[in-house]
Structure formats: structure tokens, C-alpha cells
Amino acid sequence: MFTLYILRVIKNHLYVGVTNNLERRIDRHKFGNGAEFSKRNKTFELVHKEIYKTLSDARKREKRKFNKIRLSNFST
């Protein structure tokens, strides 16, 4: 199983990611071992997650979710 997840930081920026172990991935973000996003933003909250059977399905949804978030940020 794979989890698509969204993190939000204090500045209201969002990070969309996919993992097969959400707890471990969140810990990596907390300790700055995740993406560049988490190295710069140590304080964040998990605001959304979705479970998928395959990595391919999760990645497809990640791309759609990321594009939707990016577009909504420019429309305001």
C-alpha cells in the first residue's frame, strides 16, 4: 500500500508526497532527512492522506493533486 500525503507549514505552503511507510517518512521530514522542503520547514502538520494499492496509482494522484494545489495558489 502507498500513501499520498500533504504537509502544511506555518507559512501555509504545502508539500505533496508519496510513501509506502507514512510514519517513517514523517519522521524523516521532522529530522530534516526528507525533501528540501522539510529541511527549510521543520514545523509542519499532516493535513491530508489517501491510500492506494499501487505506487503508480499514488503517483498519478500526486501529480493531479500537486497541479490542482499549484493552480489554486495562482488563482487568488
- % of the chain surpassing 90 pLDDT: 39
Q: Side by side, which strands form the sheet with 44-52?
A: 14-19, 2-9, 44-52
- Domain definitions of the chain by residue range: 2-74
Please, are residues 3 and 50 in contact by the beta-carbon 8 Å criterion?
Answer: yes
Residue 22 has pLDDT above 70, yes or no: yes
pTM over 0.85: no
Residue 59 has pLDDT above 60, yes or no: yes
What local confidence, expressed as pLDDT, does residue 56 receive?
Answer: 94
Residue 76 has pLDDT above 50, yes or no: no
Residue 75 has pLDDT above 50, yes or no: no
Span 53-60, average pLDDT: 94
What local confidence, expressed as pLDDT, does residue 67 receive?
Answer: 65
